[in-house]
Chain A
Amino acid sequence: DQQVKQNSPSLSVQEGRISILNCDYTNSMFDYFLWYKKYPAEGPTFLISISSIKDKNEDGRFTVFLNKSAKHLSLHIVPSQPGDSAVYFCAASELPDDMRFGAGTRLTVKP
């Protein structure tokens, strides 16, 4: 039962352009959403999050949008940089205990 879905396994964008990563979820009880970034052979690192009471959260080049009615969230990276190339995981949590992750999207930013 995959409660968090990332339907795009990969995304390739040009340096300087916008990267948009998408995520859908099925559990309406999720109240907190996060994005993690992961490099090979390393643990994921926290990138940005959003509470279910908000629809947008911005941190520098990263913005997360939440559409609760559609059960959809997205991560925008503007402008994209080659160092952003990694696997991005969407996560959702029904506080205070569990956290579910999507399958990940591999982002490649080309110079």
Chain B
Amino acid sequence: SQTIHQWPATLVQPVGSPLSLECTVEGTSNPNLYWYRQAAGRGLQLLFYSVGIGQISSEVPQNLSASRPQDRQFILSSKKLLLSDSGFYLCAWRPVPAEKLFFGSGTQLSVL
């Protein structure tokens, strides 16, 4: 069966520090991969999605970047965090072809 792993669950970082969140999917190949963010009191904002290794689509110009170095690995990064980067970050995957997204357990990021 397929599983998605996302870590860490909680992260507290100072402003200006770098960020690296990692997500891996097991039990499938060539999935579509996604990063979403839920800011306090807001909905799920699509940040990046990837349909293959090295292929990244960015939805919102911002302080973040994403990379897909391997088929089932998706990384969210920042060189210098801002206060506004605080939020609940969710990785998700989608088998192709299929309609549903499956989410990881999320990372609560607090930038202080």
Interface residues of A (CB under 8 A from B): 6, 32, 34, 36, 41-46, 49, 51, 89, 91, 93, 95-104
Residues of B within 8 A of A89 (CB): 43-44
Interface centre among A43, A45, A89 (most CB of B within 10 A): A43
Q: Is the CB of B46 within 8 A of A49?
A: no
Tally chain B residues at the interface, Cβ within 8 Å: 28
Q: Is the CB of B51 within 8 A of A97?
A: yes
Residues of B within 8 A of A96 (CB): 32, 96-97
Q: Smallest CB–CB gap between A59 and chain B, Å?
A: 13
Give the complex CA separation of A91 and B96 in angstroms.
18
Tell me the chain B residues, 82-106 only, with Cβ under 8 Å from chain A: 88, 90, 92, 94, 96-97, 99-106
Q: Is the CB of B99 within 8 A of A41?
A: no
Give 16 A-B contacts (CB < 8 Å), ordered by A residue: A32-B99, A34-B100, A36-B103, A41-B108, A44-B44, A44-B103, A49-B100, A89-B43, A93-B99, A95-B97, A96-B97, A99-B46, A99-B94, A101-B43, A103-B43, A104-B43
